[in-house]
Structure 1
Amino acid sequence: MNLTKISFLLTILMSAGLLSCNSGAQESNPEQSIEDKALALAKEYIIVDGHIDLPYRMRVANFRLEREFVDPSVKTNGDFDYVKAKEGGLDAPFMSIYIPASYQSRFDHEYGRFLEGEKNRAKVLADSLISMVEDITEKYPDKFTIATSPQEVEAAFQKGLIALPLGMENGAPLGDDLANVQYFYDRGIRYITLTHSKVNQICDSSYDSTRVWNGLSPFGEEVVQEMNKVGIMVDVSHISDSTFYDVMKITKAPVIASHSSCREFVPGFERNMDDEMIKTLAKNGGVIQINFGSTFIDDRSREKTEEVGQHISQWLEENGLAREDSLAQAYIEKYMTENPTYSTVKKVADHIDHVVKLAGVDYVGFGSDFDGVGDTLPNGLKDASEYPNLIAELLRRGYTEEEIEKICYKNVFRVWNEVQKVAEELS
């Protein structure tokens, strides 16, 4: 029974004198009422998050000298784990199969081509990270399960399991073989971020001043078309503006921006989407999933982070210390506490408001980048237990339950289902 039905039933019972309540207590603390309602909605609705970097966090931890093991079935020091997800109502976090640019073929500027050496490293890493997620679900079948469709997410939700759909961040593992699109679909991948921090064989990156292709490469055009045919969502996060518009010309299915925010609030930051891109994304039927990182959502936080980083680097150099030294760690912790760079949950809501104003409520969702943006998460959204804080902020701003349900999961489900439908039509 949803909250509207419960409220209606309570009204009838009170009117009939069959139920009484202390309305004064409720009126004296309306803020608590919003928090309670937000928590209830977080538990009632499926919450999908477009991008969480648990697999790579686990890989890094497991390769440290101390052989630390990250067990996501219990509470950890990270942003995402089973306990935090259950507290916050997170039901379907897309596990990022993150491939650093160092694993892809390098571009030789002198000869104008990508070097062939070790071109399979990216695919090997992708396979290992996918297997790592599979291992989680096999080890903890009472808590996690792989999901490859909205229908499987819904089935997991009904069973009380956390669904783990897969998205691959960086198309480098495709190499130069289109058959790898089908290969990774068969391995469970349901979106591919075309590139990451550097230009690759598919397209240019927003982070890379080198614009080899001025958008999609010829091979990249084929990749987008093949993703449409196979049923993998095209993720336009990280790509350059020119690549985005190339994708829009070619794709026959709606696309996602799995973890991007609005450039309106961080001028000049190409990693975010500008207003025209957001409008174009909406016309395509796609969805932008807002990144929670403070430097993505708040220009002042971005400037402050750069100032703090420069100060710390200078201090380390002047004192002849490495960042890993215990004395340096103590200083850094104290300095960052005294010079906070964090934004707030209100700013994330501002980004959602901005998308809604530009395009409508049907084209926005959550893409936290938990475990991927380091110590930059805003106050009120520090980990997966705090989605109710964002829902509460949306309630304060007048969003209806129906609108919040769309933002939590229905918008992403609509795109995901449409991508599946287009693939069936093309095949």
Structure 2
Amino acid sequence: MKDRLRVGLAGFGLLGLLACNPGARPRPAASTPQPAPATSPEDQVHQAPRSADEHAALLARAGELARALIIVDGHIDVPFRLEKTRAPGGAITEDVTRATEGGDFDLPRARAGGLNAPFMSIYVPSSYEERGGATEFADRLIDSVESIIARAPDALALARTPAEVREHFQAGKLSLALGMENGAPLAGDLAKLAHFHARGVRYITLTHSRDNHISDSSFDDARTHGGLSEFGRQVVAEMNRLGVIIDVSHVSDEAFWQVLELSRAPVLASHSSCRRFTPGWQRNMSDEMIRALAKAGGVIMINFGSSFISDEYRRRREAEQALLEAEGLDDDSAAGRARLEAWRAERPPVDFASVGQVADHVEHVIALVGVDHVGLGSDFDGLGDSLPTGLKDVSMYPNLLAELLARGHDDDELAKIAGENALRVWDAVLERAAG
């Protein structure tokens, strides 16, 4: 569905104290990183304390913070994951209110990691733009989120406002917010925007992997509209009016700049990272874009996927995808998986990204525009087996908090990164709508 293929605190293995993905193929132990040239993206890497006592203390403190702070995750693909388990009779066969063997999210792991407000992604594949049925598919995914809440109403609640997120936090409930990934379900009708707002959708990612009738995509070279379509411009205005957050992840650079020009409210990038570390890859955001986003009051929520974090990993994955396409194979098929395993066996392994590298992206945003404009948008359940070592599922947010603590960030800064920045943007969007 999305993308795939070092350890957190420098070279010691604090992250081994929390479980990692047991299904990942073995990797050689990472050596202690060496200082990189000042012109390299790696110049953001910091050395962290190395004693066992210091590591244990950091992790314990991070666990306390994870329980005390509101952690908002801008993008988790649970609904689409569940849709893929739907039985022939129509029932979803996986229950994420209980511990699950697969996937990156379930309620017990969310509680263990301190997660409070994940945006459940109402992800509609780009193919629905052409074949139709996008509106109905989105409604079905929203139904599935409502059914999750109905299974555990004492533990879960739909969140329609930041105030509700805070209310649920005080009550010990986990908030499920809704973010629609791909505007295809609007189907050219602004009334459908009001419909999805009424159902609880609080942000919309304008497009996904291909250009749609609203916006050009960062993944599509066609550049159908040169940014936003005329209808897309109307969508921006109507989202502002209704108080729906505009999500600029996945849009082309041209569309991004047009959104900033048109929007009266701050915008989010719900699950994007920094292009400085992945040069030339338009799915991530350039420094210029991040500065403009921040100037408009917005927030970039860092995607955890290794392809978003590590250019080495991204280039390896691109080579793998090119191989499969050339041979007419799919990486979800047995033949495709076998071909990749054989191809990988002939080459040096490429490690997953590390928690430290994810922290590098967070710190790069802070260095550019300050701590008020960065958050977390993991893309859990949407990345396959490509998540960083030590950030394999929703139980592991404390690993990232520990890494940031080791780099000298205080509790107030971590509160902003964990969730307060995203909630501030959400509040600002509602205030502009009310005004």
Normalised by the length of structure 2, the TM-score is 0.83
Give ranges in structure 1 of 5+ residues lacking alignment.
1-26, 106-117
Give the letter aligned to residue 334 of structure 2: E
* Alignment partner, residue 405 of structure 1: 415
Q: In the alignment, does 2:150 pair up with 1:138?
A: yes
* Alignment partner, residue 352 of structure 1: 362
* Alignment partner, residue 314 of structure 2: 302
Secondary structure of the residue aligned to 2:121 is: strand
Distance 1:68 1:191 in 2: 25
Secondary structure of the residue aligned to 1:260 is: coil
Select 2:104's aligned residue among 70, 74, 79.
Answer: 79
Q: In the alignment, does 2:111 pair up with 1:101?
A: no
TM-superposed CA distance for 1:142, in Å, is 2.2
Give the letter aligned to residue 240 of structure 1: S
Once the two structures are superposed, residues 95-141 of structure 1 have per-residue CA deviations (whole angstroms, 9 ceiling, x without a partner) of 00001010013xxxxxxxxxxxx54x000000000011001111211
Higher relative contact order (CA 8 A, sep 6+): 2
Once the two structures are superposed, residues 166-201 of structure 1 have per-residue CA deviations (whole angstroms, 9 ceiling, x without a partner) of 000001111111111111110100000000011111
* Alignment partner, residue 224 of structure 1: 236
Normalised by the length of structure 1, the TM-score is 0.84
Secondary structure of the residue aligned to 1:166 is: strand
Once the two structures are superposed, residues 336-355 of structure 1 have per-residue CA deviations (whole angstroms, 9 ceiling, x without a partner) of 99834411011110000110
Secondary structure of the residue aligned to 1:165 is: strand
**Residues 305 and 341 in structure 1, CA contact (< 8 A), matched pair in contact too:** no
* Alignment partner, residue 187 of structure 2: 175
Once the two structures are superposed, residues 23-62 of structure 1 have per-residue CA deviations (whole angstroms, 9 ceiling, x without a partner) of xxxx971221111001100011010000000000000122
**Residues 206 and 270 in structure 1, CA contact (< 8 A), matched pair in contact too:** yes
Give the letter aligned to residue 152 of structure 1: E
1:8-407 counterparts in 2 under 5 A?
29-63=53-87, 69-76=93-100, 77-105=102-130, 119=132, 121-309=133-321, 323-324=333-334, 328=338, 331=341, 335=345, 339-407=349-417
**Residues 370 and 383 in structure 1, CA contact (< 8 A), matched pair in contact too:** yes
- Percent identity over the alignment is 48
Instruction: Give me the CA root mean square deviation.
Output: 2.6
Q: What is the number of residues matched between the two proteins?
A: 383
Distance 1:313 1:55 in 2: 28
Larger radius of gyration: 1
**Residues 324 and 336 in structure 2, CA contact (< 8 A), matched pair in contact too:** no
- Bigger helix share: 1
